[in-house]
Amino acid sequence: MKTIITASFLLFMTLCYGQYNFHLEVDQADAKIEGKLFLDSGNSSVFVGRNAGVANTTGNFNCFFGNNAGMNNVSASANSFFGFQAGANTTRGIANAFFGQAAGNANTTGNHNCFFGSGTGAKNTIGDQNAFFGHQAGFLNTSGEKNAFFGDTAGNSNTTGLENSFFGRIAGFANTTGNQNAFFGDNAGRNNATGSNNVAIGRGAGPSSQQSHLSNRLYIDSNVSILGNDNPLIYGEFDNDFVRINGSLEVTAGLTNPSSRALKNQFVSLDASTILAKLIELDIQQWTYKTRPDELHVGPIAEDFYAAFGLGQGDKNISTIDADGIMMLAIQELNRVLMNQNKELATGIEELRNKNDQLVNQNLLIIQRLEALEKNSGVK
């Protein structure tokens, strides 16, 4: 009864006056509860567990629950550590919340971190403003800042990477120093190690292990057995303003390309006859893509098209704008040729008509002369 009254009194004093630390230890050997009142300069802190907050001297507004929780805290304030060895090495870090066995265990001066789950942020020392949720999420992070890892072992290998967002089990698992990545989905971006400014959406979406260093990439895909695919359904390069769709694209309302004069410069007139001649010589066959053998297509090879016209970003793709432009110019040239031929034909026809009229007149004169001869000779 005395122990209960003493503990209750100490808690009551802490809540009412906010000027004492309350330290509660449980001795498992004899199952006794002992309340201890510290009259040091620290204020409004609650420590429950063997060695919890044992070194605290000037830290304020701390709550440490669990054996060795916050055991090295000296002057840090506004921390909440719950779990065995949670925040055990924090000395001056402020406004941290660590929940789970060894969560934030190595943190020393890191501030404004939230680690929830066994081993979350366990190696973090000076990293600030991180949010790790899930077993061993951000486990190896040391000085990385402003990261958000949600999911079992999400961002597990991150050490110094900054401003990453990984959502999903094992998302961003191998990332170490990559910055400003956003991975969403189970195992999303799992292989990325040092690449930055990447976005991966979908299960297993992201680069292969051979391309773990690439930056400014977009991966949208869903892989059941393959973790990382360099040719996802949708692939993009932010630094090159490039997007590739590895599949068919259906557009119900029509596909348009920006083509306003206000967007263009360096206008050059081309010799349409030369364009038509090159187009006539261009090898055009039926073929299939290696990855889609059942789909038949007709068209030129990109390398041949680029060699003939030198248009586009390279010899691996054909822009619909350039293909349409070449065809339009060739059609204009064909129309010009046909119009000239029609004019020549019309002139020739007119000349033949005139000649025919002359022959008709000549025939009439001959007939008239023959009739006159016959009449004069009496021949009937």
* Cβ neighbours, 10 Å, residue 326: 22
Identify the pLDDT of residue 142: 93
Q: Are 205 and 186 in contact (CB under 8 A)?
A: no
Contact assessment for residue 172 and residue 158, using Cβ atoms and an 8 Å cutoff = yes
Q: Helix axis angle, 272-281 relative to 320-377, nearest 10°?
A: 100
pLDDT at residue 352 in the model: 93
The three-state secondary structure class of 12 is helix
Q: How far apart are the first and last CA of the chain?
A: 163
pLDDT score of 380: 57
The pLDDT, as a whole number, for residue 224 is 78
Predicted confidence at residue 42, as pLDDT, reads 47
CA 112 to CA 148: how far, in whole Å? Answer: 12
Crossing angle between the packed helical segments 302-309 and 272-281, to the nearest 10 degrees: 150
pLDDT at 310: 96
Angstrom distance (rounded) from CA 107 to CA 130:
12
What pLDDT is stored for residue 154 in this prediction? 97
Sequence-ordered list of residues with C-beta below 8 angstroms from that of 39, at least 6 positions apart, any chain: 20
What pLDDT was estimated at residue 314?
Answer: 92
pTM of the model: 0.74
Mean pLDDT per 10-residue segment, the chain (380 residues): 41 44 51 42 80 91 94 94 95 94 94 96 95 96 96 96 97 96 97 97 95 96 87 96 90 88 95 96 95 92 96 92 96 94 92 93 90 76
- 336's enclosing H/E stretch is helix 320-377
CA distance to 169, 192, 308, 330, per residue, from 173 (Å): 9, 8, 47, 54
Which residue's entry shows tokens 């009254």? Answer: 5
